[in-house]
Amino acid sequence: RILLVFFALAISNMVYGQQQPCECTTYDETFKKYRAAKDAGKSKEAEAIALALSQEQTPFCRMLGLNLLANVSINASNMEEANIRIQQQKALLDSAACADEHYLEYFLTKSYYHYSQDEYDSSIANSLKALKLAEQTNALTRQITLRLGIGSAFYRTGQTEKKMEYARSIIPLIEQVDDPSFKCQYYFNLFGAYYTYYTNTKREKIYLDSADLYNNKALKIARATNNKRFLPYCYEALEIVNSERKGSPQRGLMYIDSAIYFGRGAINNAQLSELLLNKAELYASLNQKKEATLFADSALYFSAQHPQKSVYASHLLDASELFSKLGDHQKSLRLYKEGDVILDSLKSVTNTRTVHELEEKYNKEKNEKTITQLSQEKQIDELQIRILIFGVIIALVAIALIVFVYRLSSLKQKQQIIESKYRLNQALINPHFLSNALVSIQRFILENNAGVASGYLTKFSRLMRQLLEFSRQERISVEEEIDLLRNYLDLQKLRLKDTFNYTITVDEQLAIQDSFISPMFIQPFVENAVEHGVNGVDMGKIQIDFTRQ
């Protein structure tokens, strides 16, 4: 688990147009003070600076002040106030008749607002508009921030590869950034991206090493500049890497305590709850159940106050697993059910299709703009006849490209519809299996068979997490599918009191770690074999063979 600053806003200095209503000569200096106050953990002082800017006489200065205040409101989880300030910002821009480039900050803040409310399609739509303006005005830090935000939104829709694609694209851009505050933030964002990829793939050591490398770069800058905004994030990241490398829990507690100390007044409820959950897990590993329970309950208290429900749901599932380890299976089951209900309510089959359409539209506009610019440059240097020939060639290429893009788009749309139906089927876990599993747990508890109940609940919780995790992936390895099948069949054997045996064999020529299939492709057939094949017989047998053909 990791405290990821998926969309930490880094409002950069911009070069605005020469129209008098759309200028703010005091903004650069004011923003430096605002950013310095935020980095020092002085959130009240930063808010006061933004408020003063929003009260200046120049309309454009007031707009920029409202933009900063809207971000303050979002970070404080006051979404109603943030929405009002965003609308006021838009009204000032419209009344001043500013050029399109001056809407960059508005679109960026609006995308952050939607992201914070789990509205990822709207977030990406506004991010793509802002990214187009950032590229037109060569706003470097804005381009980096927006690419990170778009990648994070894709990750929230279950597309880890897309997140990494956008994360890798910012690596060469970071080296061009001079501001240490922004550089610290972007290095930490890269830590988050690589660690997420590490946990969502095969936990290959190279990705953990890359995550650790970028976190240490961020920590070095944060220490040198006393950046209290990112010091707590970096210390928590040290604890995460320490835990993955099987370091001592005492060292982990030291890192978490440092994160909480430096984060006073600079982190929100969701971030604090992450730290407290980490601390609870460390105490659990030391077998200090009282302390682990105390910090886990405190974490859920703060997480419940955060408006982003996906964050709260994730914390509920983490706490459920923790309480299962502590032996409080009743509480573990209750928290798991609550988190599962929230996650189900947030799932949207159309989300993935929508964000892909938005990204395609942005890329198409960007490519068309590039082609137009190249054509104009050629017209200056070449003779009229060559320009005419070149124009004809470009037109033919454009027609071919349009036909190709149209066909590709149609194929992608059909594929997305098929994938959407498949993902929907993946999400439909057999209600009879869930009901029977819960009844079995209840039976073991009533029979005072706590050991079996605990083992059953642990396997059941692990199976549910596997199903949720795999449902967000397009492909999983055969090895992961076999692991899921073993877990599922073990649960069914416990439920049916060992009235059947099963055997899973793998062809020696089949590399199960490097062979991939659709998630839960085999599980429905196995479930059918259990319910309609071996259920009700004295001793049945299920044989599953994996071969290469």
pLDDT in tens, 210-252: 999 999 999 999 999 998 888 999 999 999 999 898 888 999 9
Q: Give residue 84's pLDDT.
A: 94
pLDDT in tens, 144-154: 999 998 988 88
Residue 165's Cα: distance from chain center in Å?
13
Q: Give residue 459's pLDDT.
A: 81
Tokens of 140: 């470097």
SS3 for 519? Answer: coil
Q: Give residue 9's pLDDT.
A: 38
Q: Is 420 exposed, middle or buried (0-12, 13-18, 19+ CB in 10 A)?
A: middle
pLDDT in tens, 488-516: 888 888 888 888 899 999 988 888 888 88
* Same domain flag for 527 and 475: yes
* Same domain flag for 417 and 479: no
Q: Considering the chain, what is the average pLDDT of its residues?
A: 83
Residue 545 has pLDDT above 50, yes or no: yes
Residue 58 has pLDDT above 60, yes or no: yes
Domain boundary among 370, 402, 427: 427
Q: Which domain holds residue 396?
A: 349-427
Q: Give residue 290's pLDDT.
A: 92
Q: Give residue 172's pLDDT.
A: 93
Domain boundary among 427, 450, 473: 427
pLDDT in tens, 268-281: 788 888 889 989 99
* Same domain flag for 514 and 534: yes
* Same domain flag for 462 and 404: no
Q: Give residue 369's pLDDT.
A: 62
Q: Give residue 50's pLDDT.
A: 92
Please give the residue that has the higher pLDDT: either 420 or 265.
Answer: 265
Alpha carbon distance 100, 61 (integer Å)? 17
Q: HEC profile for 242-277?
A: HHHCCCCHHHHHHHHHHHHHHCCCCCCHHHHHHHHH
Q: Give residue 35's pLDDT.
A: 86
Residue 287 has pLDDT above 80, yes or no: yes
- Buried-exposed string 425-446: b where 16+ CB fall within 10 A, e elsewhere: ebeebeeebeebbeebbeebbe
- What is the sign, positive or negative, of the torsion defined by CA atoms of 283, 289, 290, 295? positive
* Same domain flag for 480 and 529: yes
* Same domain flag for 451 and 493: yes
Alpha carbon distance 352, 349 (integer Å)? 7
The answer to whether position 296 is within a domain reads no
The answer to whether position 536 is within a domain reads yes
Q: Count helices and strands (H / E) in the chain.
A: 23, 4
> Percentage of residues in the chain with pLDDT exceeding 90?
28
* Same domain flag for 439 and 413: no
Q: Give residue 264's pLDDT.
A: 78
Alpha carbon distance 119, 468 (integer Å)? 20
**pLDDT classification of 432: cutoffs 50, 70, 90:** low
Q: Give residue 351's pLDDT.
A: 52
Domain boundary among 378, 403, 427: 427
Q: Give residue 222's pLDDT.
A: 93
The answer to whether position 514 is within a domain reads yes
The answer to whether position 282 is within a domain reads no
The answer to whether position 367 is within a domain reads yes
* Same domain flag for 504 and 535: yes
Least confident range of 335-339, 408-412, 413-417, 456-460: 413-417
Q: Give residue 362's pLDDT.
A: 62
pTM score over 0.75: no
Residue 363 has pLDDT above 80, yes or no: no
Residue 124 has pLDDT above 70, yes or no: yes
Alpha carbon distance 368, 373 (integer Å)? 9
pLDDT in tens, 189-199: 999 999 988 98
* Same domain flag for 440 and 538: yes
Single-letter amino acid code for the residue at 61:
C
Please give the residue that has the higher pLDDT: either 319 or 18.
Answer: 319
Domain count for the chain, please give it.
2
The answer to whether position 292 is within a domain reads no
* Same domain flag for 389 and 458: no
* Same domain flag for 376 and 452: no
Q: Give residue 113's pLDDT.
A: 92
Tokens of 496: 């049916």
The answer to whether position 508 is within a domain reads yes
Q: Is 203 exposed, middle or buried (0-12, 13-18, 19+ CB in 10 A)?
A: exposed
The answer to whether position 340 is within a domain reads no
Q: Give residue 183's pLDDT.
A: 94
Please give the residue that has the higher pLDDT: either 475 or 363.
Answer: 475
**pLDDT classification of 155: cutoffs 50, 70, 90:** confident
**pLDDT classification of 209: cutoffs 50, 70, 90:** very high
Alpha carbon distance 123, 359 (integer Å)? 12
* Same domain flag for 456 and 507: yes
Q: What DSSP line would sit under 271-328, residue for residue?
A: HHHHHHHHHHHHHHHTT-HHHHHHHHHHHHHHHHTSS-HHHHHHHHHHHHHHHHHHT-
SS3 for 544? Answer: strand
